[in-house]
Chain A
Amino acid sequence: MKSVSVYKEIVPGKKWFATLVTRIFFFFIGMGMQTAYRIDPEVKKEVDSWPETFSFRMAVVGGPSMLMLKKEGSFQYLGEKEAFYSDVEMWFKNISFAYLIMTGRISVPNAIYHNRQFVKGNLAYGMSVIRVLNVVQTLLLPNVIARFYIKEVPKLTFQKMINRVITYINIGYGAIK
């Protein structure tokens, strides 16, 4: 029989690339949500229906996260700021799952159906957040790619294209800042 000292703990490896990609996508989604609140009436209506100081967190278990806060007439992206409590939290169970979703290899609805991610908190608000995320994804992505992420992609209108440009300018500004 082997000596007990032969058995060593195994330190988990780092998935730095998947973590980096997820972090970048979280930034895009966060800035996208912040911008969409200002320019998209559908998103504004949803966010306005949430209580003041409503917070939404998207995170990977043991990995990166992003926090959104509704406060004094704005909907702000607060980056990876920690929060003791968030009204709605969307958790990915593993960084690999988040990476597969962020790179479009699993659609967001399928990730929910698979239980690769779960929503924590009030489900009625959770539904509203999902609708906001759907709109944000149509602002961030061309329709051919957006169909990998959401169930039904709305028709591309001139206004939608203008909104996309505004969103990307804001994201660019946010990245420089």
Chain B
Amino acid sequence: MLFKKNVMIPEYYEFFNSVKVISGYKALETIPFELGRLGAKRPIIITDKGVSQAGLIKHVVDSFAGTDTVVGAIFDETPQDSSNVVVNQIAAIYRAQNCDSIIAVGGGSAIDTAKGVNIVITENTDDLLKFMGNYRLNKPMKPFVVIPTTAGTGSEVTMVAVIANPEKNVKMAFTSDLLLPKFTVLDPRMTASMPPKITAATGMDALTHAVEAYIGPQKNPISDAFAAAAMELIRNNIVAAVKDGANKDVRLAMANAALLAGLAFSNSMVGIVHATAHATGGVCHVPHGIANSILLPYGLEFYVGKSPKVKEDIESLLLHLAGPEVYVQTPPAERAAKTIAAIRNLTAELKKLSGLPVRLSETGVTEDKLERIAQTALNDGAVAFSPVEVSLMEALGVLKAAY
């Protein structure tokens, strides 16, 4: 039994996060000081073309003005799917430019690439394959900083990196608490230029993290607190962020929500929604946030139909997703359905505002691929943390419903 009867405390849990969080207006300006505390004076900045063309790197570089911290190099050619080839290329630049620390600026790809570079530099290798998997890293890493430019992945506080190896045709996953950055900076300037559709998709990604963390079997009082705070911030800000991207308060709230959701799910883990979303991305290249957004209500419906215990957790989600008024006005027996309806209402509104897809068929996924996606989903690590057992037919059922 996860929770003892009437006592909302797990019989055992672990929670870990060591990342210092710096959030607010002009927060970037603290980077040279914080790097100095870590003994670093010459960081390499790893980012992608989209971020540099949006002028976001200028904010970071400008934050070094008036200090003795030198930017050793800027690499802005990170591709959408980070690979070991790029990681080795950046590591060569790092060594040639005598850099002593790494700053990742961007979304999941730039951050994962930077984590890969940190492994290559720290382990003094050019073969990432040797370190693939859980807990294969042992050495303390170089000072590492993450500045997210999307409010969704939560990668700034997660201990995972996924990097492709095109030569061997594998996606290498690395998991270690050593991959966590020393600090992360949430500055509203960094997410202000995100287009509405990406704002909606990344926001729904964060919501999915929080929801799955809240109902997962590894949930605990600390992850619950972070997940609940994330859901409330998203409920109050996601539509405003899509409508008015220039509003810095709303942007900062969403960046914080993504971080809180990241803290929650990196400890409580995620379940069937993520397993099927990862697989949909892997097989059909559907962006992760969009896949999560589409699959979230269908994943919850699957749980409601299969487990009364998870249904209870989904009922209590209504408080955070719809607010206290709706929660108290809804009879307990209807709360689970109302929770799912609240998510559907939100995605319908986001679709109207930004064109966010609500069905897999709208994303280019073809019906004949669903079985392969379901098969891939069963090998995803998230399935181990689904609160109920998931069979191939059940995963396929969720995908067909979402199609």
Contacts and interface: CB of A to CB of B under 8 A. Distances in A.
A123 B381 contact: yes
Nearest to A119: B134
Nearest to A134: B389
Contacts of B134: 118-121, 123, 126
B379 A124 contact: yes
Given A121-B133, A121-B136, A151-B389, A130 B12 contact: no
Interface residues of A, number: 21
Interface residues of B, number: 25
| B contact patch SS | loop
A126 B10 CA distance: 25
Contacts, number: 60
Given A127-B378, A130-B384, A113 B217 contact: yes
Given A113-B2, A120-B135, A152-B389, A127 B217 contact: no
B325 interface: no
Given A110-B2, A110-B217, A127 B136 contact: no
A128 interface: yes
Nearest to A123: B381
B385 interface: yes
Contacts of B385: 112-113
Contacts of A123: 133-134, 173, 175, 381
B390 to A, nearest CB: 9
Contact of A118 (B13, B135, B388): B135
Nearest to A151: B389
Contacts of B173: 122-124
B10 A127 contact: no
Nearest to B391: A152
A70 interface: no
Interface in B159-215: 173, 175
Interface string B371-393: 00000001111011100110000
Across chains A and B, which 3 residue pairs bring their CB atoms closest together, nearest first?
A152-B389, A151-B389, A121-B133
11 contacts: A109-B384, A114-B10, A114-B11, A114-B14, A114-B218, A115-B218, A116-B12, A122-B133, A123-B381, A127-B383, A128-B379
